[in-house]
Amino acid sequence: MDYIGKSVIRQEAWDKVSGKAKYTADDSSPGILHAKLVVSPYAHARIKSIKTEKASHVFGVRAVLAGERFPLTGEEIRDRPPLATERVRYHGEAVALVVADTPHLAKKAADLIEIEYEPLPVVNNPTEALKKDAPLVHEQLGTYQKEERVYPVPGTNIANQTKIRKGNMEKGWAESEVTVEEYFSFSPSDHAAMETRCSMCEIRSNGDVVITSSSQAPFMIKRLIHEYFEVDIGKVIVETPFVGGGYGGKASIQLELLAYLACKAAGGRKVKLLNSREEDILTSPVHIGLDARVRLGSTEEGEIKAAELLFLFDGGAYSDKAADLSKAAAADCTGPYDIDNVWCNSLCMYTNHPYAAPFRGFSHSELLFAIERTMDSLAEKLGMDRLLLRYKNAIKPGDTTPTQVPLNKSNVGNLPACIRRLKEIIDWDEGVAKDIGNNKIRAKGVSCIWKTSTIESDAGSGVILTFNPDGSINLMSGIIEIGTGTKTVLAQILAERMKMEISQIHVQMEVNTQSTPEHWKTVASRGTFLAGRAVLEAAEDVIRQLKNIASCVLRAKASDLTVAFGKVFLRDDPSIGIDVKDIAYGYTFPNGNAIGGQIIGRGHYNLRHLTHMNKETGAGKPGPEWSVGAQAVEVEFDKRDLTYRIIRAVSVVDIGTVLNEMAAKGQVMGAMSMGLSFGSRETFKFDEFGRVMNSQLRTYRPIRYSEHPDYVVDFVVTPQVDAAYGARGAGEHGILGMPAALGNALSIAAGVKLNELPLTPELIWRVKKKEGFSDAFI
């Protein structure tokens, strides 16, 4: 058997091309009630009154929820009411909810709810939020319940702060002959998964709360419903069928809470709450924004001696996962470079914007935009080749990270090799820019990347294997199939280890928290690592059981047996053996005696040796390994109208052993596409009142078919010793350097520093004007 590295077709492929794959909202069994939200038209306002009278009289209305106080929620800080009561803090925040027989009736009634608001001054970006006289988004910040390692500052808009203090800054600056300083800014944007979020809830007569949700974290839903609403944890059952794209946005628990409350109000009947696209963009959590300042100091030879960083994340109105995002950014704040002296303050700021969920890359594409743009500035000032500067400072085994973790050959990938490979692919030596006539310039921008996954130090994953009478195996894992193909990869790992046909492995696609073993969350590119290890352990377990039964039947020691090709046989004489199918359900001797029974295997893997980051210095081990890579973007820029086309995008990433080549390339390419879309066109347009002006896919417009560049994806392989067959995470890395590489390419092409996102022609025009270029059209 040889399944590692093969482009095995995903297990659910035919279901997905024939319309049979079921997503949460596809359940339309009769009798389901439908909920509809009423959301705030203001970014910050006091709620003066809510009148629900008319709504409750609409035909078919079963419940109306408004003005009632529910327990505060939030993963790091409990600062968020599921439905706003006294005050709304962002445009689109849920204020009331109607449950009715049909979606139309629910909408009709929702439109009749009258809410009177008194507008309050808004905090419209994180820099404003930090000012002394800024309005406070949470006056009661000091009174909220919170996790131990979050550090809000009551009386300010700071929801969390993480400090990195490594080395000696004075020394670092003293050794620096050249310094650069740059400022960056971009607003929140959206995940825009094609499937809008949907949650359903039913409360059975025995009190079981059954939730079906398009979620990346069903086990977290179970835990939080229990914690917030005091339902016995065993009574919460969460099911997740296929998920139509997550990218981190479905790892936050939000809609599920409302579906639960709606269901309770409707006497436990099954209620469906499906976001419209506008609600999915406005009301549900979004992609975080950032204002940043970066200072780098280096010797004239380009050896970086000091880095000072200030990150002000736009966490929005509630801290939820944003507090964590700002911490993860601090942990990898320097980018993949070996810098001895580092000072970083990473703040999660409250603003009156939609609040943030994790987003593919968990704040890394954001921080890397700031770092990698500054690296280009430094290279320019030094008069040094941009890739050479990166190569010289590239992080390597033997170096330490900003949080002072020593790196070795296994826990960090091979960045210099990635840079060398990238250099060849993009014909770097031909120059970064070329005038191709007709007022057009071709320019190349590069970016290096790295990431570790700052995840809970006890995150784990379990796997159960059960046999069928024909010797085939059912594989149950709590991983959600959000599109990454991880469940297929798990089948490959199992087939490889058991040396059996992959067609004999049946992977359960849906997750049910009652019958599927727990997998922490399907995020952070950790799926293959955690669940892969669990699969191997479960495989060992069934192999041991098979050998035990076979040893009785074959009258041989279990240790003399081997399992492979659907058989258990004597190692030194394969002709003596028994088919797995004959013992998968135990074995019956000719005289009727039976031994064993259905073979059930289990495996589990927990992260180990992770530590919390120190409050004052940041020292600690936040994640198991650092993946690295180097990326480039080539643009064709029109000097007259400042428009451009993205011609080519290249990624060379070290994801360790590649388990499924086409699937891995697809992951990287898809992430690159998302990164280019974020870098070039995606942002919320806020008006002066903090309202989002573009909450539809025609005004919030992701990249489309004809705009895709040529993608080149190449791998450098440094196996991670710890992981199943040496595979590192792959789901996020493609996105990480795309905004930065695009920014670098366009800054070269346009001849001005572009430090904001998205990089629209209008932005380029504004910057050119500010820099005193006469009219760009001439």
Partner 1 sequence: MTAERSLSAVLNVNDEERAVHLKPTDTLLFVLREKLGLSGAKPGCLNGDCGACTVNIDGLAMKSCLMLAVESLNKKITTIEGLKGTPIQQAFVEHFAFQCGYCTPGFIMNCHAMLNTVPDANDDTIAEWLNSNICRCTGYQEIEGAVRSIVKKNQMNRKRP
What is the binding site for partner 1 (CB under 8 A)? 7, 9-10, 12-23, 25-26, 28, 57-60, 104-105, 192-196, 242-247, 274, 276-277, 482-485, 662-663, 665-667, 669-670, 672-674, 696-698, 702-706, 708, 710-711
Residue among 23 and 689 whose Cβ is closer to ligand FES:
23
Please choose which of partner 1, ligand FES, none residue 18 contacts, taking the beta carbon within 5 to 8 angstroms, the exact cut-off set by kind.
partner 1
409 within 8 A of 634, measured Cβ to Cβ: no
Query: Residue 522 Cβ, how far from ligand FES at the closest point, in Å?
Result: 15
In Å, how far from its chain's centre is CA 176?
Answer: 36
Reading the block at residue 244, the tokens are 């139509």
Please choose which of partner 1, ligand FES, none residue 417 contacts, taking the beta carbon within 5 to 8 angstroms, the exact cut-off set by kind.
none
Residue among 159 and 482 whose Cβ is closer to ligand FES:
482
**Where would I find the beta strands (DSSP E) of 529-669?**
561-564, 567-570, 573-579, 587-588, 594-595, 600-606, 627-638, 644-654
* Calpha distance 685→313 (Å, rounded): 17
Query: Residue 21 Cβ, how far from partner 1 at the closest point, in Å?
Result: 5
Query: Residue 245 Cβ, how far from ligand FES at the closest point, in Å?
Result: 5
* Calpha distance 179→298 (Å, rounded): 6
Query: Residue 194 Cβ, how far from ligand FES at the closest point, in Å?
Result: 4
Reading the block at residue 466, the tokens are 């059960």
For residue 238, the cross-strand partners are 211
State the distance between the two ends of the chain, measured CA to CA, in whole angstroms: 65
Please choose which of partner 1, ligand FES, none residue 708 contacts, taking the beta carbon within 5 to 8 angstroms, the exact cut-off set by kind.
partner 1
Return the amino acid letter for 715: F
Please choose which of partner 1, ligand FES, none residue 580 contacts, taking the beta carbon within 5 to 8 angstroms, the exact cut-off set by kind.
none
**Where would I find the beta strands (DSSP E) of 500-626?**
505-507, 511-512, 561-564, 567-570, 573-579, 587-588, 594-595, 600-606
Which among 625, 667, 324 is positioned nearest to 453, based on CA atoms? 625
Residue among 622 and 729 whose Cβ is closer to partner 1:
729
For residue 505, the cross-strand partners are 473
Please choose which of partner 1, ligand FES, none residue 478 contacts, taking the beta carbon within 5 to 8 angstroms, the exact cut-off set by kind.
none
Over its C-alpha atoms, the chain yields an Rg (Å, rounded) of 27
* Calpha distance 496→490 (Å, rounded): 10
Nearest residue to ligand FES, by Cβ distance, number only: 194
Cα 362 to Cα 116, 462, 738, distances in angstroms: 38, 24, 14
Query: Residue 703 Cβ, how far from partner 1 at the closest point, in Å?
Result: 8
Residue among 218 and 666 whose Cβ is closer to partner 1:
666
Q: Listing from the earlier edge strand, what are the strands of the sheet with 114-119?
A: 87-88, 45-51, 114-119
| Residue 758, preceding peptide bond in cis (omega within 30° of 0) | yes
Please choose which of ligand FES, partner 1, none residue 737 contacts, taking the beta carbon within 5 to 8 angstroms, the exact cut-off set by kind.
none
Query: Residue 478 Cβ, how far from partner 1 at the closest point, in Å?
Result: 18
Residue among 194 and 436 whose Cβ is closer to ligand FES:
194
Residue among 527 and 623 whose Cβ is closer to ligand FES:
527
Query: Residue 719 Cβ, how far from partner 1 at the closest point, in Å?
Result: 24
Angle between helices 738-750 and 761-770 (to 10 degrees): 50
Please choose which of partner 1, ligand FES, none residue 760 contacts, taking the beta carbon within 5 to 8 angstroms, the exact cut-off set by kind.
none
* Calpha distance 651→66 (Å, rounded): 50
Q: Listing from the earlier edge strand, what are the strands of the sheet with 304-316?
A: 158-166, 341-350, 304-316, 289-298, 178-186
Please choose which of partner 1, ligand FES, none residue 589 contacts, taking the beta carbon within 5 to 8 angstroms, the exact cut-off set by kind.
none
* Calpha distance 198→276 (Å, rounded): 9
* Separate counts of helices (H) and strands (E) for the chain: 18, 32
Return the amino acid letter for 18: S
Query: Residue 244 Cβ, how far from ligand FES at the closest point, in Å?
Result: 6
720 within 8 A of 659, measured Cβ to Cβ: no
Residue among 712 and 717 whose Cβ is closer to partner 1:
712
Please choose which of ligand FES, partner 1, none residue 26 contacts, taking the beta carbon within 5 to 8 angstroms, the exact cut-off set by kind.
partner 1
Residue among 120 and 697 whose Cβ is closer to ligand FES:
697
Please choose which of partner 1, ligand FES, none residue 705 contacts, taking the beta carbon within 5 to 8 angstroms, the exact cut-off set by kind.
partner 1
Please choose which of partner 1, ligand FES, none residue 454 contacts, taking the beta carbon within 5 to 8 angstroms, the exact cut-off set by kind.
none
Residue among 194 and 576 whose Cβ is closer to partner 1:
194
Which among 496, 484, 538, 400 is positioned nearest to 662, based on CA atoms? 484
Query: Residue 670 Cβ, how far from ligand FES at the closest point, in Å?
Result: 8
Residue among 103 and 416 whose Cβ is closer to partner 1:
103
Please choose which of partner 1, ligand FES, none residue 135 contacts, taking the beta carbon within 5 to 8 angstroms, the exact cut-off set by kind.
none
* Calpha distance 291→519 (Å, rounded): 34
- CB count, 10 Å around CB of 41? 16
Please choose which of partner 1, ligand FES, none residue 20 contacts, taking the beta carbon within 5 to 8 angstroms, the exact cut-off set by kind.
partner 1
Residue among 82 and 483 whose Cβ is closer to ligand FES:
483
The count of C-alpha atoms lying within 13 angstroms of the C-alpha of 106, restricted to the half-sphere facing its C-beta, is 26
Query: Residue 699 Cβ, how far from partner 1 at the closest point, in Å?
Result: 9
Handedness of CA 217, 247, 732, 305 (dihedral sign): negative
Query: Residue 251 Cβ, how far from partner 1 at the closest point, in Å?
Result: 15
Return the amino acid letter for 15: D
Which among 693, 683, 694 is positioned nearest to 759, based on CA atoms? 683
Query: Residue 14 Cβ, how far from partner 1 at the closest point, in Å?
Result: 7
Q: Listing from the earlier edge strand, what are the strands of the sheet with 505-507?
A: 505-507, 473-477, 460-467, 600-606
Query: Residue 193 Cβ, how far from ligand FES at the closest point, in Å?
Result: 7
Please choose which of ligand FES, partner 1, none residue 484 contacts, taking the beta carbon within 5 to 8 angstroms, the exact cut-off set by kind.
partner 1
Residue among 705 and 777 whose Cβ is closer to partner 1:
705
Residue among 13 and 693 whose Cβ is closer to ligand FES:
13
Which among 304, 324, 303 is positioned nearest to 315, based on CA atoms? 324
Residue among 276 and 548 whose Cβ is closer to ligand FES:
276
Query: Residue 573 Cβ, how far from partner 1 at the closest point, in Å?
Result: 42
Binding stretches for ligand FES (CB under 6 A): 194, 245, 483
